[in-house]
A and B are shown apart, each in its own frame.
Chain A
Amino acid sequence: MRIYFIIFSLLCSLISLGQEIETKITSHKEKDTETIETSHSRALLPLKYYKQKFKKPLTRKDSLNFVYKDNDTLVVIENYKPKGISVFYEYKDSTFLDLYTRVAFKFKNDSLKNEATMKYWKDDISIYFAKEIPKKSKKKFLDFANNVINQVDSLKLKEVKRIEDSNYIIYYSGSFEYESRMEHYTDSDFYMHWNGKNQIYKVALRIKSDDLFNENLRLIEMKRLFFQSLGYFQFNTDLDCSNYFSGCYAESETLSNLDIELLQYHYSYGICKGTDYKSFITQHEKAKEVLREKNIRIVFLHEE
């Protein structure tokens, strides 16, 4: 059985351009799963995005159908079906969102807040351990890392034996320098690479083994940096120490329900991924407005 309805959706790839579009989906499978499929849609694409994406000249019909909204020229496209998945908006209240944005969006000062972006892993994490890391430490680290990763459906972790198969290297200072840009770092740290969609695709984690003079200390720091590198996370010292996100590592190493909730939300596709802070807030406002006023959950289209 098919039902016919018009719902709003937001195309996540446009968020980075600072522009939202509304796609009207006119039919939908009657299946209340978090991932939905569209069979027909009509999109309003900003002219700038249209030129960038399609690289073909506009027809006379296109020009005649232009829609003008908020000082922007929108091109109407019938049967627009971006490749990817569509997921219903995941509601979160303002208290949770306030906390989430403070751990997921890193910025130096408030004036840079709106431009701060959330970062996430899209691909599986393949860890290569440098040979100076003792087996015992590796095992303890992997126990912790797997426990964290297992909380998130879309995240996978494996250890690889060949460096060329890895996208995550863990090593100690004083041995081979895998990431020369960290050579002069005075503290343990990680060097992270991300693409234009703010998808993390490579990390080198370096432990300052002279300052952290035994394996117990190195392990605490390794776990701390790994946890942060799952989303370029910041610790929030307002939280009590039962939460790993409080930054009380070494006092508590188990994840609280709140830690898990924050992690899972970071990797939830019920909101656009890799967005800047301003877009993130705007999306929520829009999604909440539609939910409360029209009793409909916006669909987020995550393009491949």
Chain B
Amino acid sequence: MKYTLLIILGMIFLQSKAQGSTNLKLNKTYSKVLNNESITLRFPQKKTIKLDSFTVAIDSSQLSFLKDFSLLDNNELIRNYKRHVFSGSKTRTISQFLGPIVILIDEKLPQEIKSSFINFIEDIPEIENLKFSFTKNLEDANYFIDIVDNEVSAYSKDDFNALDEQEILNDTFSQMTYKLYANKNNKFISCHYKISPSIINDSLFLTKLKKGFFSSLGGFYESYRAPKESFLNSKTDINNVYLSDYDIMVLKYHYKHLYQFSINSNGFDTLINFRKQLIN
């Protein structure tokens, strides 16, 4: 297989290392090369035919974002971020929303909750590659917060039945769940956020809704190690009305660049190493 490397931004070393590693698979561009080779046939008549070939190019500009990605230099942030995104898994990949998130909130959501929730979102500072807006038209939405008619849970029926009352109360997704629709490039196209009708009047509902919504923005995992004021902390008794600085940092980190290729935990480590080499 022939690889033609397009050298952009003088990142030759990044390119070769990326291909040498199985951790990071940059996108390839295939091109047909015309008139590369020919052969003269003896039958049915003497005739020369072209044997077209294909070349594969890997555009190293896919990594050019690294030069401005100073957040990757913060070891503590990296450790925390990886916990929320990969949760110790080697196979989970970074997933991001494709475009602006256009939210439709079910009319059945109590007005007070709705207003608080909208305020919560509108308070999120500007994040690169992540925008929010609201709509009243289902056809325009790509994020639907839906009070469904039946009871839903992120747990299977058996697992839910095994939870005691306190666990149900404390768990964000015991009575809510969301389904993200993604393409093969790990980009979220839409989210259907489903809420059990029975949870609406619970005192922790608004907090759980905020936590769940925030988690859906990157398929983030909660952790007990996150600061207690963070919406990514596993506990649900958070007094914060708005996102904490920690949460905002995670979000900025996550959406700093919309990746064109798949990144798992090892791939992410490779990116960090590339960045180190780039700045040293």
Contacts and interface: CB of A to CB of B under 8 A. Distances in A.
A299 B34 CA distance: 24
Interface string A243-267: 0001111110000011001000000
A121 to B, nearest CB: 23
B183 A248 contact: yes
A240 B260 contact: yes
Contacts of A36: 44
Contact of B53 (A95, A240, A242): A95
B141 A214 contact: yes
Contacts of B184: 235, 237, 246-249
A247 B27 CA distance: 12
B42 to A, nearest CB: 5
Given A93-B54, A94-B1, A217 B189 contact: yes
Interface residues of B, number: 43
B185 A31 contact: no
Contacts of A96: 30, 53-54
Interface residues of A, number: 49
Interface string B31-55: 0100000011111110101011111
B263 to A, nearest CB: 11
Contacts of B53: 93, 95-96
A213 B146 contact: yes
A211 interface: yes
Contacts of B141: 213-214
A216 B181 CA distance: 12
A77 interface: no
A29 B29 CA distance: 41
A246 B49 CA distance: 31
Contacts of A249: 183-184
A241 B260 contact: yes
Given A93-B52, A241-B185, A246-B185, 7 more contacts: A30-B44, A30-B45, A32-B45, A95-B1, A96-B53, A215-B139, A240-B28
19 contacts: A3-B45, A5-B42, A32-B45, A36-B44, A94-B1, A95-B1, A95-B55, A98-B1, A99-B54, A211-B179, A212-B190, A212-B192, A213-B141, A213-B192, A220-B189, A241-B185, A249-B183, A250-B189, A295-B41
